[in-house]
Amino acid sequence: MAELKTKVNNASVKGFIDKIADETTRADCYKLVKLMEQATRAPAKMWGSSIVGFGSYHYTCASGRESDFGP
C-alpha cells in the first residue's frame, strides 16, 4: 500500500509565511491563518513543505483502507 507523501510536520508556519516577498500577501496570509484557526479551532500546522493546514480527519475508503488526513 502506498504511503502518503504529504504529512504534518513540525516546520514553522511563521517561517513559511515570512518567506513571502510581497508584504501585502504576507499580511493577508497571517490574517487568513488567524481566521482559519478560529473557524476550525485547530492550530496551523505545516503539511509537507508548502501547505498550511488546520486539523485532520480520519476516513475510511470503500475498500476498507483507513487513514488520517488533513488540511
> Can you give the residue ranges of every domain in the chain?
8-69
Burial 5-30 (b: 16+ CB within 10 A, else e): eeebeeeebeebbeeeeeeeeeeebe
Q: What sign does the dihedral 39-40-46-51 (CA atoms) show?
A: negative
Nearest residue to 50 (alpha-carbon basis) of 17, 23, 3, 21: 17
Q: For the whole model, what pTM was predicted? A: 0.78
Q: Which three cell numbers stand for residue 44?
A: 496551523
Q: How confident is the model at residue 65 (pLDDT cuts 50, 70, 90)?
A: confident
Q: How confident is the model at residue 3 (pLDDT cuts 50, 70, 90)?
A: confident
More confident residue, 21 or 1: 21
Percent residues over pLDDT 70 in the chain: 93
Instruction: Look at residue 45 and tell me whether its pLDDT is greater than 90.
Output: yes
- Average confidence (pLDDT) over 53-71: 81
